[in-house]
Amino acid sequence: MKQLITVGLIFGGCSAEHDVSILSAKAIAQNINRSCYDVVPVYVDKCGKWYITNETLEISKLDEQQVWLSMDPERPGLKMENDGGVFIFPIDVFFPIIHGPYGEDGHLQGLLKISGIPFVGSGVASSVIGMDKEYMKMIFKKESIPVVDYLVFRNNGDWNMHKAITSVEETFGFPCFVKPCNMGSSIGVTKVSDSSKLQEAIEVAFTHDRKVIVEKAVNAREIECAILGDNEPKASVLGEIIPNSEFYSYNVKYYSDQAKLIIGADLDPGISDKIREIAVRVHKTIGCYDFSRVDFFLDKESDAVWVNEINTVPGFTDKSMYFKLWEATGLNFGELIDRLIHLTLERETMNRSMCIK
């Protein structure tokens, strides 16, 4: 009988995207090939404690078995107390699907790297860059990857709201978007139509991060591309989001049927090829592994293209684009999960052959 690969599915987390992570993990648990993988659901609560939970991932029925990540390279896995002793539950590969701060921003990736257990997704540096919108856009601009005009404000001792409002008015004006620099799922994002609303929007964003980015709003279509791979990443077909609201907010993304998701965006082939080529460049530029989703703005009049952001841990909920785009490209959900895990294990084998830790 073939030995199953033990996959530690890490979900939950401390960020405002906790609930989204649970939805993503449930979708992965339901679609993973159980004839190849033994899934160990690892729930991280909002305080940061780790638990092994049941296979249905129903958190209300959480087992009382708290676990810790073993940092012993000779005994890798999850450490738990058992009958007065310590037991190591071995894990072959982790699949972290925690979105937002402490899960997508390099913190968790660094912890898993130290543990010595391979994990699906990008490493520390690319996770940090992918989460921090300021660093991301700085690197994109340096590499001649187009982004919309933006300003960054820090809530420190030199912070001055009046100067911030004046800077926005003089640099690109209104409308504009105000966002926390380190957050996803459109949490804390506000579209601002005039200066009277800007202070409130900045204050809202500062409740989620000490650094806020203000971006020029453009009259554009929202296009998304899913990327799969490491050294030679591939781009999916493109999708388009039509929010049918002011913008693609958190509630519209996950708790409303307002948004229309078009799989196979109606685009000129030349523009489609250009967006897919830029998406691959973005993935490679910040050194992503395995998967990412790159979001674009496409000007409705000039067809100018701007990269909005890259998501290094894209969502897997029933409303998420990533797996839908790959299904349309030819990989079903189960095959996609299998490919992601094997990319990770192949990279681990290569690293060991090169004595890379």
Mean pLDDT of 176-189: 84
* 355 part of a folded domain: no
Q: Are residues 111 and 169 in the same domain?
A: no
| Type of residue at 55 | E
The values of phi and psi at residue 235, to 5°, are -105, 140
**Alpha-carbon torsion angle 55, 65, 337, 294, nearest 10:** 120
Residue 246: the pLDDT is 62
> Residue 178: beta bridge partners?
190, 214
Mean pLDDT is lowest, of 125-134, 233-242, 345-354, for 345-354
> Residue 50: beta bridge partners?
44, 67
* 124 part of a folded domain: no
Q: Are strands 5-12 and 93-96 parallel, antiparallel or unpaired?
A: parallel
Q: Would you call 46 exposed, middle or buried from its count of C-beta atoms within 10 A (0-12, 13-18, 19+)?
A: exposed
Check if the beta carbon of residue 271 is closer than 8 Å to that of residue 303: yes
CA distance 232 to 236: 13
Q: Are residues 337 and 237 in the same domain?
A: yes
Domain boundary among 216, 246, 261: 216
CA distance 236 to 227: 6
Mean pLDDT of 218-237: 96
Q: Are residues 259 and 173 in the same domain?
A: no
Residue 290: the pLDDT is 97
156 pLDDT tier (thresholds 50, 70, 90)? confident
* 13 part of a folded domain: yes
Q: Are residues 234 and 320 in the same domain?
A: yes
Domain that holds residue 101: 5-119
CA distance 347 to 290: 10
Edge to edge, the sheet with strand 93-96 lists 85-89, 78-82, 66-69, 50-52, 37-44, 5-12, 93-96
Between 204 and 253, the higher pLDDT residue: 204
* 269 part of a folded domain: yes
* 179 part of a folded domain: yes
- Record the pTM: 0.91
Q: Are residues 88 and 173 in the same domain?
A: no
Q: Are residues 135 and 266 in the same domain?
A: yes
302 pLDDT tier (thresholds 50, 70, 90)? very high
CATH number at residue 264: 3.30.470.20
Question: Which two tokens mark 26?
Answer: 């449930």
Q: Are residues 19 and 157 in the same domain?
A: no
CA distance 227 to 185: 18
Q: Are residues 227 and 175 in the same domain?
A: no
Q: Are residues 63 and 27 in the same domain?
A: yes
pLDDT digits (tens, 9 = 90+) for 61-106: 555 689 999 988 788 899 998 777 888 999 999 999 999 889 999 9
Q: Is the pLDDT of residue 59 over 80?
A: no
**Alpha-carbon torsion angle 73, 79, 81, 87, nearest 10:** -60
pLDDT digits (tens, 9 = 90+) for 254-295: 455 667 889 999 999 999 999 999 999 999 999 999 999 999
Residue 248: the pLDDT is 47
Q: Is the pLDDT of residue 249 over 50?
A: no
Residue 269: the pLDDT is 97
Check if the beta carbon of residue 209 is closer than 8 Å to that of residue 178: no
CA distance 302 to 75: 58
Q: Is the pLDDT of residue 186 over 60?
A: yes
* 227 part of a folded domain: yes
Q: Are residues 78 and 226 in the same domain?
A: no
pLDDT digits (tens, 9 = 90+) for 2-27: 699 999 999 999 988 899 999 999 99
Residue 185: the pLDDT is 56
Q: What is the DSSP letter of 17?
A: T
Mean pLDDT of 235-250: 77
Q: Are residues 273 and 154 in the same domain?
A: no
CATH number at residue 43: 3.40.50.20
Q: Is the pLDDT of residue 191 over 90?
A: yes
* 356 part of a folded domain: no
* 352 part of a folded domain: no
Between 182 and 1, the higher pLDDT residue: 182
Mean pLDDT is lowest, of 160-164, 280-284, 296-300, for 160-164
Residue 159: the pLDDT is 85
Between 274 and 59, the higher pLDDT residue: 274
Average pLDDT, the chain: 91
Q: Is the pLDDT of residue 121 over 80?
A: yes
Q: Is the pLDDT of residue 314 over 90?
A: yes
CATH number at residue 190: 3.30.1490.20
Q: Is the pLDDT of residue 168 over 90?
A: yes
**Alpha-carbon torsion angle 108, 115, 33, 292, nearest 10:** 40
Q: Are residues 241 and 280 in the same domain?
A: yes
Mean pLDDT of 300-316: 96
% of the chain with per-residue pLDDT over 70: 92
Number of domains into which the chain is organized:
3
